[in-house]
Amino acid sequence: MALRWLEERLAKLLPVLDALGQEQEEELRVLCEAEKEAWRQRPRMKAEISLNVPMIQTRNRIREELFLRDDNWWINPKSGEKEHIALKHMNFSTEEWTRMALPKEEVLQTRLAQPLVLSDPDGVVQQGEMLLQMDAWPELVLGIMLNTGRTLAEILKTGVFRVKTPYSLQIAVPMTVHERLTPFFEVPTFARAERIVEAIERVRWMFGMQFAFTDRRAVGRQCHPLVRQVAFQHFMGLVPLRLGEQDLHKTLSQGVYARLAVSWYCPPALDELIYLATIKHFLRVLDAPTEEERLTLAIASSFLDYVLVGPDGKVDPRKGIHLGDPEVEVVEVFQQRPDESASVAFQKSSCASELSAEERNASS
């Protein structure tokens, strides 16, 4: 159900949009821009993020209620699929969506200035490896999250995982709300890659048995509470959280995974933000036009939430401490030119392998 004020506006807007087609695209664009401006002028729309919910609800209603005809569709370049042409214009730009997703500047600066401390990183990794051997699906999910940096829905339902090297996987995940998967990208792991793939196969079998009719949107609602509970049971003494934060399992797959991946596997000469954006497949960070914007997006993406501290209480800034270990390889995209630019790194990572036809869906 849409917001009450939005429901009243959609009752008038949707029939008008439905009557227009490709030949009236400019008229349709003007209508959509006027509608967005009307939202901005509402007294309570003081922050840009307030526009998030009405846009999502409006786009969902267009998908649900405006049927495609021969004269009213376009091909969305992100999905490669037909959509109602109204969705081309009833949207925000990538830059606008990015700004809406960013925390306030003072929050970003606090997170950068006051990182959290991981004093026993080896204990965190050992705990994650132990979870991969357990027989309950929430524990398995948690171990996979820590070892891959991927989300709950990607692990349980929507991602494609395969072994690349003894300590890395190739992963493809859905692009936003679209069915089509990303190209495969390489993700380093702390446990052996084949063990993680085996754990994914087991957890999906268990998950399917327990939630046979769960669609991807219900994965978070049904599984989040159990995984969250297990995260506190196994990591509360090892991984600190910021005041007010409650999703420890998300922290493990974001900030904790990021810091451990840099410490273990990032080539010392490489910019760690480029490394993290590549293995996390965060194109917006890689494509940021300035160092300042890249840093802002990296902070917002939890890349810099944690630091490692040694027995002497001092921050351990080392990178790539396990690159000399047997069977450990640098992520392929960085093997030839570890100092290459973010855009080149992303292009190489994206083209590392062909897509399979397996498991398509959207991420949570």
Tens of pLDDT along 123-176?
Answer: 999 999 999 999 999 999 999 999 999 999 899 988 999 999 999 999 998 865
pLDDT value at residue 348: 43
Report the pLDDT averaged over residues 333-353: 53
Helix 257-265 crosses helix 137-148 at what angle (to 10 degrees)? 50
What residues have CB less than 8 Å from 277, skipping those under 6 apart? 283, 285, 286, 294, 298, 303, 342, 346
pLDDT at 190 over 50: yes
pLDDT at 364 over 70: no
pLDDT at 212 over 80: no
Report the pLDDT averaged over residues 261-290: 93
pLDDT at 14 over 60: yes
Residue 316's Cβ-count burial label (10 Å; 0-12, 13-18, 19+) is: middle
Among the listed ranges 65-79, 202-216, 220-234, 321-335, which one has the minimum average pLDDT value? 202-216
Map residue 59 onto helix, strand or coil. helix
Q: Confidence band (pLDDT; 50, 70, 90) for 239?
A: very high
Torsion 40-46-48-50 (CA) sign = negative
Q: Which of 185, 177, 157 is nearest to 354 (CA)?
A: 185
For the chain, the average pLDDT equals 86
What DSSP string describes 139-155? HHHHHHHHHH---HHII
C-alpha 293/C-alpha 277 separation (Å) is 13
Among the listed ranges 22-31, 104-113, 116-125, 300-309, which one has the minimum average pLDDT value? 104-113
Contact 101, 107 (CB under 8 A): no
pLDDT at 350 over 90: no
C-alpha 227/C-alpha 58 separation (Å) is 32
Q: How much is the pTM?
A: 0.76
Residues of the chain with CATH 1.10.443.30: 108-350
Q: Which long-range contacts (CB under 8 A, 24 or more apart) does 306-309 make?
A: 306/115, 306/116, 306/117, 306/118, 306/255, 306/256, 306/258, 306/259, 307/115, 307/116, 307/117, 307/118, 307/259, 308/117, 308/118, 308/119, 308/121, 308/259, 308/263, 309/117, 309/118, 309/119
Q: How far apart are the first and last CA of the chain?
A: 20
pLDDT value at residue 46: 72
pLDDT value at residue 210: 67
Report the pLDDT averaged over residues 199-204: 94
Report the pLDDT averaged over residues 197-213: 82
Map residue 97 onto helix, strand or coil. helix
User: What are phi and psi for residue 47, nearest 5 degrees?
Assistant: -110, 145
C-alpha 69/C-alpha 130 separation (Å) is 54
Report the pLDDT averaged over residues 342-350: 45
pLDDT value at residue 45: 81
Structure token pair of residue 202 = 């087991």
pLDDT value at residue 343: 45
pLDDT at 84 over 50: yes
pLDDT value at residue 217: 64
pLDDT at 59 over 90: yes
pLDDT at 349 over 70: no
Q: Which CATH superfamily is domain 108-350 in?
A: Telomere resolvase (1.10.443.30)
User: What are phi and psi for residue 186, nearest 5 degrees?
Assistant: -90, 135
pLDDT at 86 over 80: yes
pLDDT > 70: what percent of the chain?
Answer: 87
